Amino acid sequence: MGKDSSPPPDFVRLFTDGACKDNPGPGGWAFILEHPATGERRRETGAERHTTNNRMELMGVIEGLASLKRPCQVELVTDSQYVAKGIAQWMANWKRLGWNRKENGQLKPVMNVDLWQRLDALIASHRVRVTHVLGHRGHPENEECDRMAVQAYKDLIRNPG
């Protein structure tokens, strides 16, 4: 994409984050989905009573990708090295090893395999490029997703119904 060209109509940016009060404990996820061609933005959050930070990081991505109605070019922006490296470096090998990872020469099950498998199926429908940003360093959408994810689990704690 050149400087003067407009973004393709199938291009979206997906900003995601997850947060946990304790690890494990109550947690929240959030995403902001931006469609640069139209300027439209969608924000969503969710929360779970007993989870981990890594699971919430994955849920933000899963829910964001699941919200897409057709195949897209997706720039996924995350502050989670677990998510970024998992998608870009580790997942292909985990799949090759039957969703296992090597640890000290032995095969061990991949943590959060249920979510990684859901994410893998969603990624297969899109062209996803991962951009890792440093968390809590002033990236506007990352900071907003963090606030949204924290608010989601705080709301869950306040309203236990």
**Is 79 labeled as catalytic in the residue annotation?**
yes
Q: pLDDT at residue 160 above 90?
A: no
Q: Which of 2, 105, 136, 161 is catalytic?
A: 136
Q: How many of the other CB atoms lie within 10 Å of CB of 82?
A: 16
Report CA dihedral (11, 55, 120, 113) to the nearest 10 degrees: 180
pLDDT at 82 over 90: yes
pLDDT of residue 161: 65
34 belongs to the catalytic site: no
In the residue annotation, 4 being an active-site residue is answered as no
Confidence of residue 13 (pLDDT cuts 50, 70, 90): very high
CATH topology for the 11-158 domain: Nucleotidyltransferase; domain 5 (3.30.420)
Own/partner pairs, 109-112, CB within 8 angstroms, 24+ separation: 111/54, 112/52, 112/54, 112/55, 112/58
The answer to whether the pTM exceeds 0.85 is yes
Query: Which pLDDT value is given to residue 3?
Result: 55
Active site residue 138: no
Which has the higher per-residue pLDDT, 7 or 82? 82
Q: Are 126 and 72 in contact (CB under 8 A)?
A: yes
136 catalytic per annotation: yes
User: In this predicted structure, what is the pLDDT of residue 1?
Assistant: 44
Q: Where are the domains of the chain?
A: 11-158
Per-residue pLDDT reduced to its tens digit, 89-131: 999 999 999 999 999 999 999 999 999 999 999 999 999 999 9
**Which string of DSSP letters, residue by residue, matches 107-136?**
EEEPTTHHHHHHHHHHHTTSEEEEEE--TT
Q: CB–CB of 63/46 below 8 Å? A: yes
